[in-house]
Amino acid sequence: MLQTAQRQSKTKKPSPPHERFLEAYRWMLLTRTLEEKLVSLYRGGLITGGVYIGKGQEAVSAACGLFLQKGDIFAPLIRDQAGRSAFGEPLLDVTRTYLGSRQGPMRGRDGNIHRGRPQQNQLAMVSHLGAMISVTVGALMAKRFKGEKDFIGLACIGEGGMQTGAFHEGMNIAAVEQVPLVIVATNNHYAYSTQNDREFACHDLVDRAIGYGFEGYSLDGTDLSACLEIIGGAVKRARAGRPPQLVVASVLRLSGHGEHDDASYVTEEIKREPFARDCLKVAEQTIADLNLVDAKTLTEWRKEAVAKVDEAIATAQKEAPPEGDKEDWCAISVRDLVDSLQ
Amino acid sequence: MSITYLEAIREAQAKLLRDDERVFIYGQDVGGTFGGAFKATKGLAKEFPGRVLNTPISEDAMVGAAIGAAIEGMRPIVEMQFADFSSIALNQILNNAGTHYWRTNVPVPITVRLPSGGTKGSGPFHSQSMESIYAHYPGLIVMTPATVEDAYTMLIEAVAIDDPVVYCEHKYLYYHLKADKLPTQGVPTGTARIAREGRDLTIVSYSAMVHEALAVAEQLAGEGFEIEVIDLRSVKPLDTNTVLASVARTGRLLCVGESFPWGGVTAEVIARAAAEGFHLLDAAPQRLNAKDTPIPYHPNLWSAHRPNAKEIARKARALLRE
C-alpha cells in the first residue's frame, strides 16, 4: 500500500512548476473571478437561495477537472467550480442556474451548486453528502458492462461528507467492485462551523484508505503544483487499473459555508496555519518568482476572465425565469404513468 | 404444471436477463449458488455469469450504484433482502432517483424489489409494507402485485419503464399463490383489476390483502351480500377511475391495506373517493389497516395486528348495515 505524506511546501524553494500549472491557474483565476461576481450579485439581492464558493480550494478542484478526459465521469461537490469549468462546464450553466433561467440545465427546478449534465458525464449532486460516491461507482460499472475502455471516475467530497454512512458504503463498494475511481477529499477544516476535533478522531483521514482497500495520498491543497502532481498521479494510476485512489487535501475554507455565513467562528489561530494560505495567491507568487508569465499577460488573463464572466451573467440575466402556471409539473418521464391526482 | 408467485418473479428476471443485455441484478446474497434469501434469483448467477452480483450489506450504496448504472444506460434490478431494510436506502431512492428526472431531464430506470409484508414469526424488522412511504414522494412508480400473473408481467414492465420503480412483492404470497402458467401479456400498470364483481359494497385492496378481501366476499356471499373486490395492482399511479366507477355501482367503500394506519394508501383512496365521489356514497367510507404499533413477532399477536378476514368481515358488515 502506498502512503505518500506530502510535504507542507511553505518554506520550500520554488521548483519548476507542473507542466499544466498555467493552464490550471487560469481555471482558478476564472473561478475566483466568477465566484466574486456571484457573491456581489447575492449581496445585491439578485440571487435567491444561496451562493457557495470554493475560495481556497480552487487548486485542488482545478486539478480534479483537468486530468479527466472525454468519457470519464465527474462527480463534483459544493466547492468545485474550478473543476467543473476545467471539465468543460460552460459558464452559462453556472449563471443560468444561480439566476434561475429557464434555459439553464436545471431550468429553475434546482439551483446554485446542485447542477449537472449527467449525459455529458457531469453528475448532478444531491445535498445528502456521500450519496454521489456509489452513484459514480455504478456509472463506472455500467461502462465496464458496456465494454468501454480507458475511463475513470472522480468524485469530490469534503472531510465533513467523509463522516456519513453513505460515504463509508460508497468507498467500500468501490473497492469491492474494483472500479477505476479517484476520490478527492478536501479537508477544509470546517463542516459548516464544526472543526475537525468534533468531526473525526482518527490521526489522519488518509489512513482510512488502507481500511477500504484504496491507495491513499496526502496533499497540501494550497500548492498547485503538488495538486497537479498528486491528483494527476492518482488519475493515472486509476486509469492504469490500480485499486481505487483516495487523495486527502488540506486547505482552509476561505469563506463562510455559504455567503449567508460570516464564518466568525473561524479562529485566528487556524488562519495562521500553513494550510490557511490562499492557493491563488501562492500560485501567483510562483508565477512571479519563476517569471512564468509577464505582468502584462497576467493582466490580460484577468481581463479576459472578467469579460467571460460578465458576458455569462448578462446573458442569463436577460433570460426569462420559469413560471409556475407554465411549468410542466411532472416528476416522471413516462406520461402514461402519471398519477391522476393534481 | 403450476408456478408460484415466487417462481414467477424468478422467471421474469430470467427472461429479462435473457432478452436485455442492459439488465443486471444487484443485491445481498442474490448471486453464487445461493440465489437470494428467498431464492428469487436461484440459478440465475450460473445462467448469466457476471450479471447477478452479490453486494455488501450496503443498501444505500446498492441503490446508489444502480442509479449511476441506470444513468449510464443499464437497467439494474436491486433486490432488497427485506423491504424493511430499504429504509437504509431511502435517501438514494427518494432524494436521488426520485428527483433526478425532474431536476436534470434524465430518467433513472432502476427497479427496486422489496420483499414486503408480514409472515408468521417475522417480527418488527422483517415484516413491513413500505409502499405508502414510496408513493408519498414524487418521481417513483410503486407496484404492488397480488397475483402470480401480475408478479410476472409487472416485473417485466417495471424494468422496461424509464422511471424508477419500487416493486413491492409480498412474501406471504411467495409460496401460497399458484397459477397454471405464466401469461404472455399483462394489464398495463395504472389499471386496477376487478377481482370479484358485486353490487353491495366495494372493497379496495392491493397485494396480499386482496386475498383476505376475496375470502370475506366469499364468506358474506353466504349471508346474501355481493361484494366487489378491487385489486389496485399499483398504488402509484392509483387508478381512481376504477374505484369511483365501482363506488358508483355499490355506494359503499372499504379500503384495506397492510401498512400502518396513519396516512398512506388507504387514506389516499378514501380521500379521493370522498373528494370526487361524495355524491356516490351511501355511507361514510371506511378503511382498515394494521395497528399503530411495530409488527409483533408471535403468530397470535401478528395475526391480530394485520387486517385479517375476521376484522374485514366485521367492518364490511357494519358498513352494509348503514
Whether residue B186 lies inside any domain: the answer is no
Q: What is the pLDDT of residue A278?
A: 98
pLDDT score of A10: 45
3-state secondary structure of B36: coil
CB atoms within 10 A of CB B124: 12
pLDDT tens for each residue of A108-119? 999 999 999 999
Instruction: Over range A31-50, report the average pLDDT.
Output: 97
Per-residue pLDDT of B263-285, as tens digits, reads 999 999 999 999 999 999 999 99
**Per residue in B136-163, pLDDT tens?**
999 999 999 999 999 999 999 999 999 9
Peptide bond before residue B237 is cis, with ω within 30 degrees of 0: yes
Number of domains in chain B: 2
Minimal CA separation from B305 to chain A, in Å: 30
Look up the CATH number of the domain holding residue B274.
3.40.50.920
Confidence of residue B101 (pLDDT cuts 50, 70, 90): very high
Strand order through the sheet with A73-75? A3-4, A215-220, A245-250, A181-187, A153-158, A73-75
Please check the confidence at residue A5 and state whether its pLDDT lies above 60: no
- Residue B14 and residue B163 share a domain: yes
Higher pLDDT, A17 or A85: A85
Are residues B163 and B202 located together in one domain of the fold? Answer: no
Query: Could you report the per-residue pLDDT of B63-83, keeping only the tens digit for each?
Result: 999 999 999 999 999 999 999
A117 contacts on B by Cβ (under 8 Å)? 104
Cα B219 from chain centroid?
25
In a domain, B86, yes or no: yes
Per-residue pLDDT band for A252 (boundaries 50, 70, 90) equals very high
In chain B, what's the furthest Cα-to-Cα distance? Answer: 60
Quick check: A306 pLDDT over 50?
yes
Contact B69 A142 (CB under 8 A): yes
- C-beta of residue A292 within 8 angstroms of C-beta of residue A301: no
In the prediction, which pLDDT does A337 show? 96
Please report how many Cα atoms fall inside a 13 Å half-sphere around the Cα of residue A95, on the Cβ side.
22
**Predicted complex ipTM:** 0.96
Residue that is last in its domain, among B179, B214, B243: B179
Q: What is the mean pLDDT of residues A36-48?
A: 97
Please report whether residue B80 resides in a domain.
yes
Q: Do B141 and A170 make contact, defined as CB atoms within 8 angstroms?
A: no
pLDDT digits (tens, 9 = 90+) for B217-227: 999 999 999 99
* Single-letter amino acid, residue B194: I
Kindly state whether residues B257 and B171 are assigned to the same domain: no
Shared domain check, B226 and B105 = no
Q: Are residues B32 and B136 in the same domain?
A: yes
What's the pLDDT at A12? 53
Work out the percent of chain B whose per-residue pLDDT is above 90: 99
CB atoms A169 and B58 under 8 Å: yes
Whether B221 and B104 map to the same domain: the answer is: no
* B211 belongs to the catalytic site: no
Q: Please report residues of A whose CB lies closer than 8 A to that of B268.
A: 341
Q: Which residues of A touch B101 (CB under 8 A)?
A: 331-333
pLDDT digits (tens, 9 = 90+) for A64-88: 999 999 999 999 999 999 999 999 9
Q: Residue B123 is part of a domain; what is its CATH number?
A: 3.40.50.970
Q: Which residue has the higher pLDDT, A4 or B276?
A: B276
Q: Look at residue B316 in the predicted model and tell me its pLDDT.
A: 98
The verdict on B157 and B304 lying in the same domain is no
Same domain, B175 and B223: no
Answer yes or no: are the C-beta atoms of A188 and A251 closer than 8 Å: yes
Give the pLDDT confidence of A171-199 residue by residue, as tens digits.
999 999 999 999 999 999 999 999 999 99
Confidence of residue A310 (pLDDT cuts 50, 70, 90): very high
Mean pLDDT of B38-63: 98
pLDDT band for position A1 (50/70/90)?
very low
Query: Which residues in chain B have Cβ-Cβ distances shorter than 8 Å to A336?
Result: 188, 190
* Shortest Cα distance, chain A CAs vs residue B310, angstroms: 33
User: How does pLDDT run across A211-220, given as a tens digit for each residue?
Assistant: 999 999 999 9
Q: Which pLDDT tens digit goes with each residue over A110-155?
A: 999 999 999 999 999 999 999 999 999 999 999 999 999 999 999 9
Lookup result for grid cell 450553466: A93
Say whether both B46 and B165 belong to one domain. yes
pLDDT at A340: 82
- Asked about B72 being catalytic, the answer comes back as no
Answer yes or no: do B82 and B15 share one domain: yes
SS (HEC) of A103-122: CCCCCCCCCCCCCCEHHHCE
Q: Is residue B187 one of the residues assigned to a domain?
A: no
Neighbours of A213 (CB within 10 A): 15
**pLDDT at residue A103 greater than cutoff 60:** yes
Number of helical H runs and strand E runs in chain B = 13, 14
pLDDT above 70: residue A8 = no
Question: Looking at chain B from residue 191 to 230, which residues have their Cβ under 8 Å from any Cβ of chain A?
Answer: none
B207/chain A closest Cα distance in angstroms: 19
Cell of B279: 355524491
Burial of B272 (0-12, 13-18, 19+ CB in 10 A): middle
CB half-sphere exposure, B243, CA atoms < 13 A:
32
Domain ranges (residues) in chain A: 3-337
Contact B240 A341 (CB under 8 A): yes
Q: How near does any CA of chain A get to the CA of B93, in Å?
A: 11
Does residue A322 register a pLDDT over 80? yes
pLDDT at A29 over 60: yes
- Supply A221's cell numbers: 491543497
pLDDT band at A341 (very low <50, low <70, confident <90, very high): confident
Q: Are B53 and B24 in contact (CB under 8 A)?
A: yes
Q: Which of B7, B79, B126, B228 is catalytic?
A: B126
Summarize the confidence of residues A222-233 as an average pLDDT.
98
Which B-chain residues 135-154 have CB contacts (< 8 A) with chain A?
Answer: 138-141
Whether residue A173 and residue B55 make contact (CB cut-off 8 A), yes or no, is: yes
The pLDDT assigned to A9 comes to: 43
Q: Is A198 exposed, middle or buried (0-12, 13-18, 19+ CB in 10 A)?
A: exposed
Residues from chain A that touch B65, judged by Cβ atoms under 8 A, are 134-135, 137-138, 141, 173, 177
Domain that holds residue B209: 193-321
Query: Is B184 within a domain?
Result: no
| A126·B104 Cβ contact <8 A | no
- How does residue A342 score in pLDDT terms, banded at 50, 70 and 90? low
- Percent over 90 (pLDDT), chain A: 94
Least Cα distance to B294 among B245, B269, B268, B261 occurs for B261
* Cβ pair A53, A259 in contact under 8 A: yes
* Same-domain pairing of B122 and B249: no
B84 and B118 Cβ atoms separated by less than 8 Å: no
Domain boundary among B152, B179, B206: B179
Average pLDDT score over residue span B120-149: 97
pLDDT band (50, 70, 90) for residue A264: very high
Catalytic residue among B7, B59, B79, B131: B59
Structure confidence at residue A16 (pLDDT): 78
Q: Which of B179, B213, B244 finishes a domain?
A: B179
Assigned CATH class of A3-337: alpha beta
Q: Is the pLDDT of residue B184 over 70?
A: yes
Let me know if residue B33 belongs to a domain: yes
C-alpha cell at A325: 402556471
Q: Is B199 exposed, middle or buried (0-12, 13-18, 19+ CB in 10 A)?
A: middle
- Give the pLDDT confidence score for residue A14 in this predicted structure: 55
pLDDT band of A13, cuts 50, 70, 90: low
- Closest Cα of chain A to B8: distance in Å? 24
Q: What is the sign of the dihedral through the CA atoms of A60, A20, A219 and A87?
A: positive
* pLDDT at residue A4 is higher than 80: no
For residue B322, what pLDDT is reported? 84
- CB-nearest to A332 from B55, B56, B163 is B163
Q: Which one-letter DSSP state was computed for residue B57?
A: S
β strands within A133-244, DSSP E: 153-158, 181-187, 190-191, 194-195, 215-220
- Selected residue of A337, A338, A342 to mutate for chain B interface (largest B Cβ count, 10 A): A337
